[in-house]
Amino acid sequence: MKRVFGAAFTMAATVAVGLSWATIGNAACGKVSIAEMNWASAELMANVDKIILEKGYGCEVELVAGATMPTFTSMNEKGAPDVAPELWANAVVEPLTKATSEGRLIVANKAPITGLGEGWWLPPATIKKHPELKTALDVINRPDLFPYSEDKSKGAFVGCPAGWGCQLVNANLFRAFEMEKKGWVLVDPGSAAGLDGSMAKAVERGENWFGYYWSPTSMIGKYKMHKLDFGVPFGGKENWDGCMVKAEKDCANPKVSSWTKSEVNTVVTSNFKKNAGVALDFISNRVYPGDIMNGMLVFMTSQKASGKDAAFEFLEKHGDVWEKWVSPDVAKKVKASL
Amino acid sequence: MDWFFNFPDMSRSDLREFKKTVDFAFTDFSRSYGADIESFFDPLLMFLVWFEKFFINTPWPLIVLGILILAWIGSRSIPVVIGTFLSFMLIGYFGMWEDTMSTLAIILVATFLCISIGIPMGIAMARSNKVQALIVPILDVMQTIPSFVYLIPVVMLLGIGKVPGLIAVCIYAIPPIVRLTNLGIRLVDKDVLEAADSFGANYWQKLFGVQMPLALPTIFAGVNQTIMMALAMVVIASMIGVKGLGLPVLRAISNQYLALGLMNGLAIVVLAIIFDRVTQKFGLRMQKYRNDGKD
């Protein structure tokens, strides 16, 4: 090992300093800030990225708390943080396309987690009691099964918290499926805690619950929630991008549609490419299989583990997954540090 | 020397076990008693829903008229009444009428609830030093504990919506009225009480005839603070699904809608200022006798 390094240094001295720095790799990585989004899978990914970038590539990594819209806006406008490991791009399609075409942002990984998605969910107990509820269309005809606490004659459909991108989509789908006419109320849970709380409360007590959620999440894993088929095909890109994701005033005639395929990306700034270009390959190689991710999320909730704990657990237990993302050299360094 | 530099803490697995036990105990509690607790609050929920509908469905000119009359009765001040009128006109003009009415409804119920629980608590505290020693730490906790810490268990018990929102608002808003009722009664002059004693007043006569009237200005400062703090909790309450001015503020925060956030935020401020001015003027009038013959 020493000999290799020695050779590298001699080369560095004789050929060109700049070139050798790039080949050694370590010193070519500068300061990187990674957005640690406020949900479990993103916390895990941010912490895994931090450990691998620090130990494997010698970057200086700082984790920054984030959420989809603020983080994206900040990356787009200010170029910081440098990495958004799990950016749900559906909410920011247009500005993201613009930013990538202008070279400010780079979509480094188009699908960092497999098998994920947003949609409408039912608890397993509801499915068991009412096996006839096969699609969203079936559920929509039975508001009586999901009484709204403030008006028992109506059904409660728990939408997306105020201000999230999905809030507009849910509101538009609510209109497209004519749910108000069929006796539904669109409940705004107000925050992620409100949404989780309402689902957890219903499932823990064996009550019926019908609402929006997304996977992979510890909530879905923990409560074994059932994703509903919408019972209608996807209504077309034009309907979705031009109407569903917009405010009511810009979407006069929403068409019924299943939920669009979720685009989850790892987005990095152009600055990251400059500062930590060596690690770009790792970012674009790392794909978490959906079942492994779900397993990690259940681990996080059942063990009350933080993102950092979970990252170490992941690196220790699932070497077969992550060692393929990096060169053997880097893998060895990361392993030695565990 | 390891214990000197690193705190000798509980082992990680024990800590995890401890957290799990607490969580499990609470889940168990929620499973067995949650439905009962929920139905206990049902009448309150029905009332809240009715009260909100009443505010929203009453034609706006009647609401404005009613508020102006209340403002006049409270403040007896033309500028305050004019200011109230203009504020509500602007709120309506900018399309925030319905949200404002929702907020107004829940704030009024919260204030009423806080006062009707808080004043008896304050009286009990003023009567006995032991009760005071017991309640003061509880009030400290209520005022400083981060709201989400108790919001999560409340949501697990009662779901999202008005009742948990109301509870969250009251937990934060009740301490000032309790503290100031206690303080007001304790500050009543000993000589005055002695005089009442010498006239043969019994406990209740002393309380309602002497202590309460003399403490009223202080108690009123408490009512005023309670209303202010209830309004400050509007946005937090919206985080567990309470309709009103808080929801647009939340939407604005996550989307950087500057104008939307500012407008709804200012509507909350305007409500607060109106409540504040009216109750303050009312409180001032009640202690007018204090200035009699002093100038």
Tell me the CATH number at A176: 3.40.190.100
Rounded (5°) CA angle B155-B114-B44:
55
From chain B, pick out residues whose CB is under 8 angstroms from the CB of A200. 156
* A5/B169: higher pLDDT: B169
Tell whether ipTM is more than 0.85: no
What's the average model confidence in pLDDT over A94-102?
90
User: Tokens 């206990």 appear where?
Assistant: B40
Q: What number of helices (H) and strands (E) belong to chain A?
A: 18, 11
Nearest CB partner across the interface for B45, out of A149, A191, A198: A149
Contact between residue B173 and residue B118 where contact means Cβ atoms under 8 Å apart: no
Asked if residue B103 belongs to a domain, the reply is yes
Sign of CA dihedral A243, A137, A87, A289: negative
Inter-chain touch A201–B255, beta carbons under 8 Å: no
From chain A, pick out residues whose CB is under 8 angstroms from the CB of B248. 162
A17 falls in which pLDDT band (50, 70, 90)?
very low
For A110-149, the pLDDT digits (tens) are 889 886 888 999 999 999 999 999 899 999 999 999 999 8
Contact between residue A173 and residue B134 where contact means Cβ atoms under 8 Å apart: no
Residues A304, A192: one domain?
no
Rounded distance between C-alpha atoms, residue B14 and residue A118, angstroms: 36
Residues A295, A322: one domain?
yes
Residue A15's pLDDT is what? 44
CA distance B42 to chain A (A): 9
Nearest CB partner across the interface for A193, out of B30, B239, B252: B239
Residues A227, A278: one domain?
no
Residues A291, A332: one domain?
yes
Asked if residue B126 belongs to a domain, the reply is yes
Best of A150, A249, A299 to disrupt the B interface (most B CBs within 10 Å) is A150
Inter-chain touch B155–A67, beta carbons under 8 Å: no
Query: Is the pLDDT reported for residue A16 higher than 60?
Result: no
In degrees and rounded to multiples of 5, residue A109 shows phi and psi of -145, 120
Residues A132, A206: one domain?
yes
For B193-203, the pLDDT digits (tens) are 999 999 998 98
Inter-chain touch B253–A73, beta carbons under 8 Å: no
Residues A306, A217: one domain?
no
Asked if residue B27 belongs to a domain, the reply is no
Residues A110, A147: one domain?
no
From chain B, pick out residues whose CB is under 8 angstroms from the CB of A188. 241, 243, 247
Asked if residue A7 belongs to a domain, the reply is no
Residues A128, A246: one domain?
yes
Residues A102, A43: one domain?
yes
Inter-chain touch A70–B256, beta carbons under 8 Å: yes
Asked if residue A52 belongs to a domain, the reply is yes
Inter-chain touch B239–A200, beta carbons under 8 Å: no
Cα of A41 vs its chain's centroid, Å: 7
Residues A145, A169: one domain?
yes
The CATH number of the domain where A32 resides is what?
3.40.190.10
Nearest CB partner across the interface for A163, out of B148, B158, B254: B254
Residue A249's pLDDT is what? 82
Q: Which domain, by its residues, includes A190?
A: 117-250
Residues 6 or more apart from A173 whose CB is under 8 A from it? A244, A254, A256, A257
Asked if residue A6 belongs to a domain, the reply is no
Residue B88's pLDDT is what? 94
Task: Check CB contact of A295 with chain B, cutoff 8 Å.
Answer: no
Asked if residue B222 belongs to a domain, the reply is yes
Inter-chain touch A198–B160, beta carbons under 8 Å: yes
Weakest mean pLDDT among A18-27, B53-62, B241-250: A18-27
Nearest CB partner across the interface for A194, out of B157, B241, B255: B241
Weakest mean pLDDT among A231-235, A276-280, B171-175, B228-232: A276-280
What's the average model confidence in pLDDT over A259-284?
87
Residue B2's pLDDT is what? 80
**Amino acid at residue number A306:** S
Domain endpoint, select from A185, A218, A250: A250
Counting the structural domains of chain B, the total is 1
What is the overall mean pLDDT for chain B?
Answer: 89
For A294-318, the pLDDT digits (tens) are 888 888 887 778 889 999 999 999 9
Rounded distance between C-alpha atoms, residue A33 and residue A235, angstroms: 38
Nearest CB partner across the interface for B250, out of A190, A200, A201: A190
User: Secondary structure of A60-117 in the HEC alphabet?
Assistant: EEEEEEECHHHHHHHHHHHCCCCEEEEEEHHHHHHHHHHHHHCCCEEEEECCCECCCE
Asked if residue B178 belongs to a domain, the reply is yes
Asked if residue B21 belongs to a domain, the reply is no
Nearest CB partner across the interface for A189, out of B27, B241, B253: B241
The CATH number of the domain where B137 resides is what?
1.10.3720.10
In this prediction the pTM is: 0.74
Joined together, the tokens standing for residue A323 give 């060692």
**Amino acid at residue number B155:** V
Inter-chain touch B156–A201, beta carbons under 8 Å: yes
A308 three-class SS: helix
Would you tell me which residues 36-95 of chain A have a C-beta closer than 8 angstroms to some C-beta of chain B? 67, 69-70, 73
Residue A40's pLDDT is what? 85
Joined together, the tokens standing for residue B2 give 């390891």
Asked if residue A18 belongs to a domain, the reply is no
Sequential DSSP letters for B270-294: HHHHHHHHHHHHHHHHHTGGGGTTT
Asked if residue B294 belongs to a domain, the reply is no
Asked if residue A63 belongs to a domain, the reply is yes
Side-chain-side CA neighbours of A35 within 13 Å: the count stands at: 28
* B224/A215: higher pLDDT: B224
Residue A85's pLDDT is what? 92
**What percentage of chain B carries pLDDT values higher than 90?**
54
Residue A211's pLDDT is what? 94
* B interface residues, A as partner, C-beta within 8 Å: 16, 19-20, 23, 27, 30-31, 34-35, 45, 49, 148, 151-152, 155-162, 238-243, 246-248, 250-256
Inter-chain touch B156–A200, beta carbons under 8 Å: yes
Query: Is the pLDDT reported for residue A63 higher than 90?
Result: yes
For B135-147, the pLDDT digits (tens) are 999 999 998 998 8
Best of B32, B42, B160, B257 to disrupt the A interface (most A CBs within 10 Å) is B160
Weakest mean pLDDT among A19-33, A56-70, A239-253, B148-162: A19-33
Joined together, the tokens standing for residue B47 give 């009332």
From chain A, pick out residues whose CB is under 8 angstroms from the CB of B160. 187, 189-190, 194, 197-198
Joined together, the tokens standing for residue A7 give 């050779």
Nearest CB partner across the interface for A205, out of B31, B45, B243: B31
What's the average model confidence in pLDDT over B263-285?
89
Q: Name which of B211, B184, B217 is nearest B196 in CA terms.
A: B211
* A25/B162: higher pLDDT: B162
Residues A111, A121: one domain?
no
Query: Is the pLDDT reported for residue B149 higher than 70?
Result: yes
Inter-chain touch B241–A202, beta carbons under 8 Å: no
Would you tell me which residues 302-331 of chain A have a C-beta closer than 8 angstroms to some C-beta of chain B? 303-304
Residues A172, A56: one domain?
no
What is the overall mean pLDDT for chain A?
Answer: 85
Counting the structural domains of chain A, the total is 2
Q: Which domain, by its residues, includes B238?
A: 41-288
Residue A182's pLDDT is what? 93
Domain endpoint, select from A250, A281, A311: A250
